[in-house]
């Protein structure tokens, strides 16, 4: 009874279902607007169909009621079991489902084939390119770095990340490759491998993350560029309501371009570099805050420094004005780092070459020291193997920058630098750099910078155009804020 109606309806539902699947499968990259319109149209059709089903069911019920008295003689033999309405409905539903599944099965299989790659780490690439012109040295286009970042959880206890960088210097360099614990108790985190040590503020920023084109001179000279280190580091968030973070580190050396220590040769415990850092944060109002930190990196014995120790201290201060309701459009950052380096260094800097050449250089520098007994009697010492004269020196250097945010796109800024040379007998460096950063989007940045440099033997006007883009995975790290 009523079967033709039901079959017809079932067929219509089937066609609609298949049509939906086919439509979805064949659509190539439809816009969201088109999809929404299609969906609305489908909804309307479905509603009409449901209304029609209801009407037809009413008709079927009426017809069934009319036929019942005539069709049921008391003595008639039992009819062969036929499908009830509910069973028919169930069967049609099953058929529709099976057909839809048959259609989408290839897509599911294809999706499953990508399953192994779903464990791949998040991957990002940062391209940092700089065009520069210097009054003294001419111009150059430089692919400063193409930096691939990989990051993923290893297991429930640690995560790993790596930053591999290529540049126009040639070759690839593993800038960072580290393991970090994620679930230690007592607010502790341990890190091991190669990473940027938690020293100061900007020394642990990659070049492309700096607020200006070049790394501050004081970080290049005192730290050795980025604070890259091979070793281990422990960090502790003090469990009080004030934010206080303490870090202790133990490294072969600190500084990507620090050549005092060979990273590949085992060394005595006194020749490692040890770090301590404390940093805190004060919020004056919702909009005004300051980050303060002090870091100490000590190497008890540096062979290159005639086996004397080296101490490096960094005080960092970052003031921020961020109006909460306009955080993307207005603001101000004032960042300053002051570093103090105490070390036994060659007077006038290292001189390569033979003992005769060193002696000549010494004379040229007015040292006039020729005794090779290891001391000069004037606070100076001589490297008996090369004849180079050494002197212990405490040197201070700093940078300070001010960067207002005037729109969402434009960040003008001004950086001031003053650095005493770590080598005795060499003058100071002064530099100032107005710059303008233009964020085309969150993932593309242009920067224009002029630098006036007053360095010993180098008085220069430098112009820079930096263009940086981010492809793929990108995270907003707490440390880079």
**Residue 280 binding another protein, by CB under 8 A:** yes
Would you say 147 and 128 are in contact if contact means Cβ atoms under 8 Å apart?
yes
Candidates 116, 195, 120; CA nearest to 150 is 120
Q: Which two tokens stand for residue 127?
A: 């391209």
User: What is the Cα–Cα distance from 203 to 399, expressed in whole angstroms?
Assistant: 12
Does residue 211 touch another protein according to CB under 8 A? no
Instruction: Considering only residues 375 through 404, tell me which ones interact with another protein, judged by CB under 8 A.
Output: none
How far apart are CB 136 and another protein at their closest, in Å? Answer: 36
Residues 6+ apart with CB under 8 A from 186: 236
Query: Is residue 29 involved in binding another protein (CB under 8 A)?
Result: yes
Q: Which is nearer to another protein, 53 or 287 (CB)?
A: 287
If one asks whether residue 349 binds another protein (CB under 8 A), the answer comes out as no
**Pairs from 47-50 (Cβ < 8 Å, separation ≥ 24):** 49/9, 49/12, 49/13, 49/16
Shortest approach of another protein to residue 358 CB, angstroms?
32
- Cα separation, 375 vs 344, whole angstroms: 13
Q: Which of 5, 274, 296, 467 binds another protein (CB under 8 A)?
A: 296
Minimum gap (Å) between residue 132 Cβ and another protein: 28
Q: Does 69 bind another protein (CB under 8 A)?
A: no
Give the nearer residue to another protein in terms of CB position, either 56 or 280: 280
| Region binding another protein by CB under 8 A among candidate stretches 81-89, 349-357, 376-384, 472-480 | 472-480
Q: Which is nearer to another protein, 60 or 146 (CB)?
A: 146
473 interacts with another protein by CB under 8 A: no
Q: Which span sits near another protein by CB under 8 A: 2-10, 65-73, 171-179, 312-320?
A: 312-320
Question: How far apart (Å, rounded) are the C-alpha atoms in residues 50 and 196?
Answer: 64
Kindly state the smallest distance separating residue 474's Cβ from another protein, in Å: 9
329: contact with another protein by CB under 8 A: yes
CA 144 to chain centroid: 17
Q: C-beta of 7: minimal distance to another protein in Å? A: 33
Min CB(94)–another protein separation in Å: 25
Q: Which stretch binds another protein (CB under 8 A): 28-36, 73-81, 263-271, 383-391?
A: 28-36
Nearer to another protein, 267 or 288 (CB): 288
User: Does 283 engage in binding with another protein (CB under 8 A)?
Assistant: yes
CB 460 within 8 A of CB 135: yes
Q: Are 27 and 110 in contact (CB under 8 A)?
A: no
Contact (CB, 8 A) for 45 and 20: no
Mark residue 425 as left, alpha or beta (left: phi above 0; alpha: psi -120 to 50; beta: remaining). Answer: left
Question: In angstroms, how far is the first alpha carbon of the chain from the final one?
Answer: 73
- Does position 179 interact with another protein (CB under 8 A)? The reply is no
Among 112, 118, 325, 385, binds another protein (CB under 8 A): 325
Interface with another protein (CB under 8 A), residue from 276, 309, 349, 404? 276
Residue 114 Cβ vs another protein, minimum distance, rounded to whole Å = 14
Reduce the secondary structure of 347-396 to three states and give it as a string.
Answer: CCCCCCCCHHHHHHHHHHCCCCCCCCCCCCCCCEEECCCCCCEEEEEEEE
Does 238 bind another protein (CB under 8 A)? Our answer is yes
What number of other Cβ atoms are within 10 A of residue 370's Cβ? 12
Distance CA 210, CA 190 (A): 25
* Min dist. Cβ of residue 459 to another protein (A): 33
311 binds another protein (CB under 8 A): yes
**Beta carbons of 251 and 272 less than 8 angstroms apart:** yes
Backbone CA torsion sign across 350, 355, 360, 364: positive
Does residue number 322 form part of the binding site for another protein (CB under 8 A)?
Answer: yes
Site size toward another protein, by CB under 8 A:
55
Q: Which residues of the shown chain bind another protein in the complex (CB under 8 A)?
A: 29-30, 32, 35, 182-185, 187-189, 237-246, 276, 278, 280-281, 283, 286, 289, 291-292, 294, 296, 311, 313, 315, 320, 322, 324-329, 340, 408-409, 441-443, 471, 475-478, 481
């Amino acid at each position: 009874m009523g079967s033709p109606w039901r079959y017809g309806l079932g067929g219509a539902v089937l066609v609609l279902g298949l049509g939906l699947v086919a439509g979805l499968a064949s659509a190539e990259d439809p816009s969201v607007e088109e999809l929404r319109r299609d969906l609305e149209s489908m909804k309307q059709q479905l509603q009409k169909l449901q209304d029609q089903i209801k009407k037809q069911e009413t008709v079927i019920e009426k017809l069934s009621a009319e036929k019942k008295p005539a069709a049921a003689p008391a003595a008639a033999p039992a009819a062969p079991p036929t499908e009830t309405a509910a069973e028919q409905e169930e069967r049609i539903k099953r058929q529709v489902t099976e057909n839809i599944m048959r259609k989408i099965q290839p897509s599911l299989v294809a999706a499953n084939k990508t399953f192994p790659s779903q464990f791949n780490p998040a991957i990002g690439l940062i391209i940092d390119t700089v065009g520069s012109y210097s009054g003294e040295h001419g111009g150059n286009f430089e692919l400063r770095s193409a930096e691939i970042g990989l990051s993923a959880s290893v297991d429930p206890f640690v995560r790993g990340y790596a930053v591999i960088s290529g540049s126009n210097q040639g070759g690839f360099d593993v800038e960072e490759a580290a393991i970090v614990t994620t679930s230690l108790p007592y607010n502790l985190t341990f890190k091991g491998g190669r990473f940027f040590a938690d020293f100061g503020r900007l020394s642990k920023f990659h070049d492309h993350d700096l607020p200006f084109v070049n790394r501050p001179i004081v970080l290049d000279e005192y730290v050795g560029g980025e604070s890259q280190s091979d070793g281990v580091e422990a960090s502790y968030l003090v469990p009080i309501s004030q934010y206080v973070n303490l870090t202790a580190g133990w490294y072969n050396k600190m500084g990507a371009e620090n050549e005092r220590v060979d990273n590949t040769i085992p060394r005595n415990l006194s020749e490692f570099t040890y770090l301590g850092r404390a940093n805190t944060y004060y919020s004056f109002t919702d909009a005004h805050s300051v980050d303060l930190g002090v870091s100490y990196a000590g190497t008890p014995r540096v062979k290159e420094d005639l086996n004397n120790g080296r101490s490096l201290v960094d005080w960092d201060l970052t003031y921020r004005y961020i109006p909460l309701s306009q955080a993307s459009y207005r603001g101000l950052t004032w960042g300053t780092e002051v570093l103090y380096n105490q070390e036994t260094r060659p007077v006038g800097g290292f001189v390569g070459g033979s003992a005769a050449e060193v002696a000549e250089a010494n004379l040229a520098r007015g040292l006039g020291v020729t005794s090779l007994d290891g001391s000069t009697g004037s606070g100076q010492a001589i490297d008996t193997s090369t004849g180079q004269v050494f002197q212990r020196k405490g040197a201070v250097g700093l940078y300070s920058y001010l960067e207002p945010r005037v729109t969402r796109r434009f960040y003008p800024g001004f950086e001031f630098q003053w650095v005493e040379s770590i080598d005795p007998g060499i003058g100071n460096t002064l530099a100032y750099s107005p710059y303008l950063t233009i964020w085309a989007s969150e993932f593309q940045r242009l920067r224009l910078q002029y630098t006036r440099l007053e360095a010993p033997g180098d008085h220069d006007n430098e112009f820079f155009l930096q263009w940086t883009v981010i492809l793929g995975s990108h995270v907003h790290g707490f440390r880079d804020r």
